[in-house]
Amino acid sequence: MNSLRTYIVLLFLAFGLQQVQSQSYHFKTSGFSVLQKNERGKWGNWSALELVNLSVVLDTDKHRIVVYSQEIQLFNILDYIEREENDTDIVYSFMCKDNDGKECKLSIITRKKQDFRKQLYINYDNHIIVYNIFTV
């Protein structure tokens, strides 16, 4: 009987450790906006916020971030950038390649002074997309 208990405890520990090794974070979007550079290379203004309800998954086991929009946006993570924190923000950033092979930087920013609101920034050389996100 004692060995059965030991076996059961080891089984639960094995399942618990499995979950720790692969992390998947799920978010929903509530809106997005776009910022583009003009012909002279200067940043314009943010577009009006458009309401949108999409799923976003950060999968550290598969090293990717997926935005489930009408056209799925798949970002393969090339490098995990060290977490940054200051008085106003907590920032997790990732260097990525998108579906088309273009390099970009994705950042999940938590705004400390805005009720810990979260945003996903997708930064390219000539445009930036921001999604307001929340954890599900």
What pLDDT is attached to residue 88?
97
pLDDT recorded at residue 21: 55
pLDDT at 118: 98
pLDDT in tens, 47-60: 999 999 999 999 99
Q: Which of 115, 106, 110, 117 is nearest to 89 (CA)?
A: 110
So what's the pLDDT on residue 22? 62
Q: What is the pLDDT of residue 78?
A: 98
At 7 the pLDDT is 43
pLDDT value of residue 19? 45
Q: What is the pLDDT of residue 125?
A: 96
Cβ count within 10 A of residue 120: 20
| The predicted structure's pLDDT at residue 30 | 97
What are the b/e assignments for 6-39, b being 16+ CB within 10 Å? eeeeeeeeeeeeeeeeeeeeebbbebbbebeeee
Ranges of the chain with pLDDT below 50: 4-14, 17-20
E strand intervals along the chain: 24-36, 50-51, 55-59, 64-68, 73-85, 89-97, 103-111, 117-123, 127-135
Residues 95, 91: Cα–Cα separation, whole Å: 13
Q: What residues does each domain of the chain span? A: 21-135
C-alpha to C-alpha distance for 110 and 88, rounded to whole angstroms: 8
Query: How far is the CA of 97 from the CAs of 9, 37, 79, 102, 116, in angstroms?
Result: 42, 20, 10, 5, 28
* Count of Cβ atoms closer than 10 Å to residue 42 Cβ: 7
pLDDT at 9: 41
